[in-house]
Amino acid sequence: MLELGHIEEALKTYKPSRLLGDHTLNPDFAPQPPFRNAAVLLPLLAREDGLSMLFTLRTAHLHAHAGQVSFPGGGAEPHDMDEVATALRESHEEIGLKPENVRVLGTLDHYITRSGYRVRPVVGLVQGAPEWTPDSFEVAEIFEVPLSHILCPGNLSAQEVTREGVSRRYYACNWQDYYIWGATAGMLRNFVEVVGGR
């Protein structure tokens, strides 16, 4: 079982410097600037049986990434002081998580999405007993996945799909009826590499 203290120390000493994305597994998908800045929060929660991570399921009517699993977050605004502020503001807007209820533990490497965003993943511990108030336009569901499941070898792995003769590799993780894949799983893989030594 991975302890919170280990995660804190790993993130404290890690210096994000890489530019990850679809090109990590697919070199032909090299990202092309300019990129729009964004940030997401990887929320950790301390439960009786161990740590868990919170995800959202996007609503089916959205223009981008409809019906997909994601972390709370979004594009940077001019008034955001930094990437951490973006992640906390967006999390408050999307799921009602107040910034003062988050203890930021650290950040991960930038992740470039196919839609042209340069996303900074921010890892934070949710404190207290927040009441979720999801934005009904963007968020269909809020759910948690035990960190032990994510860290179990084989549960978060590289997959491959071929469409119209083009093969694409991506990370994915199944949890109950949820399928975590794409950029969300890629950032989750980055987290696992940093805190779990993989």
Confidence of residue 66 (pLDDT cuts 50, 70, 90): very low
pLDDT in tens, 160-169: 988 888 888 9
Q: Where is pLDDT greater, at 157 or 129? A: 157
Q: Which of 42, 69, 45, 54 is nearest to 144 (CA)?
A: 54
Domain range 4-22+31-147+156-192, CATH class: alpha beta
What burial letters (b/e) apply to 58-80, b meaning 16+ CB within 10 Å? bbeeeeeeeebbbbbbbebeeeb
- The whole-number average pLDDT for the span 132-154 is 93
Q: Which of 70, 4, 83, 88 is nearest to 36 (CA)?
A: 83
The least confident of 3-12, 62-71, 92-101, 118-127 is: 62-71
pTM: 0.94
The least confident of 24-33, 123-132, 139-148 is: 24-33
pLDDT in tens, 86-114: 999 999 999 999 999 999 999 999 999 98
Q: Is the pLDDT of residue 1 over 90?
A: no
